[in-house]
Amino acid sequence: MKKLQVWLPLLFALVLITGMMIGFKLRQNIPYSRGLFETAKRSSVQEVIDLVNLRYVDKVNTDTLTDDAIQALLAHLDPHSIFIPAKYLDDVNEELQGNFEGIGVEFYIINDTVNVTNVLADGPSDKAGLKVGDQFLKVGDSAVAGNIDGDKIKKLLRGPGGSEVPVELLRNGKTVKTVITRGTIPLYSVDAAYMIDATTGYIHLNKFSGTTYEEFMQATEKLQKLGMKQLIFDVRDNGGGILGEAVDIVDEFLSDNKLIVYTQGDKQARQEFRCKRPGLLEQGKVVLLVDENSASASEVVAGALQDWDRATLIGRRTFGKGLVQEQYDLTDGSALRLTVARYYSPLGRNIQKPYNKGRAAYNDEVSERFHNGEMIKGDTSTNHTGPAYKTPKGRIVYGGGGITPDIFIPFDTAGYSAPVYALFNNQTFSRFIYGYYMQNRAYFDQFKNPADFAQRFNQSEAAWNSLVAYAAKDSVQLQGLTGRDKAEVEHRIKTWLARQLWRMPGYYEVNNLSDTMVIRALQEIRK
């Protein structure tokens, strides 16, 4: 027994060594594939960062060094391959998800006080009894009246869905205490959906997020019940988003198994996206409104509807982004959004504009359109350098740099005076709108809907005089403006008051009455 105890450790050691040798031999005979991010050796970039961390004379934040190194690497690729640091990732993802966790209010900070300017109907704050005009005194244990900024109040108000946050408010001079149960707050893609006349619907999309198709279908079904036979579809200022949402929306306009878009890259085989089901919008006239800020997924919609002669495009040449990105989460909580393919319209158009002159030139390209006169020339298709394609009805369309509309609407290049720019470029104007509304709530409560407001609002001159006095306190002098400038400011007063009353649906319904593109779209619809 004693001999066994002496030799037992040696036997264990021999067994372990033998097992390791057998495992090594077996591993040599098994095909080995590395993971997506695994490499045979460390890169020189990582070696440099490690050496700096270990040997550099001063203390250095290596996380910052790594971020800068990644940004420098991506600068040699296309302009849409980007690195997203961990601290910004949640905000970026919220836009694509179409929602976030919070309490459901809009607010302005006026005189270091957080004022509630809008309360989401049936949202957490609405259920807790918050009202427009409430002022936050405390959120949880934190006093917020005084030295407060937007980022700080957002962090205090947001949190996991279902969690509770006690708040203390000032309402009509009295203190009110309540508890808000946080919930999911939608970030709507559909800004407006209403009947612009007895048979014409209007829908404006601001992005393509995870909820866009669902929102679009709800809007379409609502308008069709109200008698919609034709549609003005507005994707101006829509920078894009999720490709699949755009594909699903186009499927509602096109019949059979028509090709909507296809993608292809050096390391990605051609992938086609085709119609899969009967659509609600396969019949009736469609006008699509686009401009220089319509990009990516918006251009997928524009390209497909134009290539198949399904819609008349009105506006100005779109941005010109024909690249597809995929997002890869990294181990430190950051993410890489990498371009993996180009997308092509049904006719084979790649509408990506050139980026071989660097990111600065690429980002300035839209501004160059103003300088070279394209924004006011009219039909820009004759200036296209990209290849020409023919639609089924024989129309000529172009690739190589955005989607050129069928009907061109020039940009209003008449400039405004410096005081008007100063008024709109800070929060002076938006704070005034809220304050004017609060001072005249009894007057505004009489309006039933945006159409009623558009017809009967009669305080333009009174609101103008109040704005002149209010802006002067912020050193913005509005006296002596030209008639055109004053008319523009009065127009914005009216549209922004509509926004205060009914949020973005109210804004668009009132603004569209004088919108040049919408007016032209109605003319096309009524032909």
Per residue in 194-240, pLDDT (tens digit) is: 999 999 999 999 999 999 999 999 999 999 999 999 999 999 999 99
How many whole angstroms separate alpha carbon 151 and alpha carbon 216? 31
Question: In this structure, are 104 and 71 located in the same domain?
Answer: no
Is the pLDDT at 36 greater than 60? The verdict is no
Question: In this structure, are 407 and 423 located in the same domain?
Answer: no
Is the pLDDT at 148 greater than 90? The verdict is no
Which of 131, 152, 186 represents a domain boundary (last residue)? 186
Which of 135, 166, 186 represents a domain boundary (last residue)? 186
Is the pLDDT at 34 greater than 50? The verdict is no
- Give pLDDT, residue 211: 95
Question: In this structure, are 197 and 292 located in the same domain?
Answer: yes
pLDDT bucket at 378, cuts 50 / 70 / 90:
low
Which has more confidence, 210 or 376? Answer: 210
Question: In this structure, are 218 and 148 located in the same domain?
Answer: no
Question: In this structure, are 255 and 391 located in the same domain?
Answer: yes
Question: In this structure, are 424 and 382 located in the same domain?
Answer: no
- Give pLDDT, residue 385: 62
Give me the percent of the chain exceeding a pLDDT of 70: 90
- Residue 492 placed within a domain: yes
Most confident of the ranges 35-44, 247-256, 375-384: 247-256
Sign of the dihedral defined by the CA atoms of residues 283, 284, 285, 291, in that order: negative
Which has more confidence, 415 or 12? Answer: 415
Question: In this structure, are 493 and 510 located in the same domain?
Answer: yes
Is the pLDDT at 383 greater than 70? The verdict is no
- Give pLDDT, residue 209: 94
- Residue 3 placed within a domain: no
- Residue 91 placed within a domain: no
- Cβ-based neighbour number of residue 337 at 10 Å: 16
In three-state secondary structure terms, 283 is coil
Return the structure tokens found at 146. Answer: 């005084």
Host H or E run for residue 46: helix 44-55
- Residue 220 placed within a domain: yes
What's 111-132 look like in SS3?
CCEEEEEEECCCCHHHHCCCCC
Asked if 332 contacts 318 with a C-beta cutoff of 8 angstroms, the reply is: no
Question: In this structure, are 305 and 224 located in the same domain?
Answer: yes
- Give pLDDT, residue 32: 37
- Give pLDDT, residue 260: 98
Type of residue at 421: Y
Give me the percent of the chain exceeding a pLDDT of 90: 59
Which has more confidence, 318 or 365? Answer: 318
Question: In this structure, are 236 and 342 located in the same domain?
Answer: yes
Is pTM beyond 0.75? Reply is: yes
- Residue 306 placed within a domain: yes
Average pLDDT, the chain: 88
Give the residue from 43, 65, 70, 41 showing the smallest Cα distance to 53. 65
Is the pLDDT at 17 greater than 60? The verdict is no
Question: In this structure, are 131 and 265 located in the same domain?
Answer: no
- Give pLDDT, residue 324: 92
Longest alpha-carbon distance in the chain: 110
| Average pLDDT, integer, range 75-93 | 87
- Give pLDDT, residue 175: 94
Question: What domain range is 70 assigned to?
Answer: 44-76
pLDDT bucket at 422, cuts 50 / 70 / 90:
confident
| Average pLDDT, integer, range 148-153 | 82
Instruction: Give the number of domains in the chain.
Output: 4
Exposure letters 313-335 (e unless 16+ CB within 10 A, then b): bbbbbbbbbbbbbeeeeeeeebb
The set of residues, in sequence order, having a beta carbon less than 8 Å from that of 416 and lying 6+ positions away, is: 485, 488
Which of 362, 394, 413 represents a domain boundary (last residue)? 413
- Give pLDDT, residue 14: 52
- Residue 178 placed within a domain: yes
The CATH number linked to 146 is 2.30.42.10
Question: In this structure, are 406 and 422 located in the same domain?
Answer: no
Is the pLDDT at 2 greater than 80? The verdict is no
Question: In this structure, are 395 and 486 located in the same domain?
Answer: no
Is the pLDDT at 332 greater than 90? The verdict is no
- Residue 25 placed within a domain: no
The CATH number linked to 241 is 3.90.226.10
- Residue 174 placed within a domain: yes
Which has more confidence, 297 or 38? Answer: 297
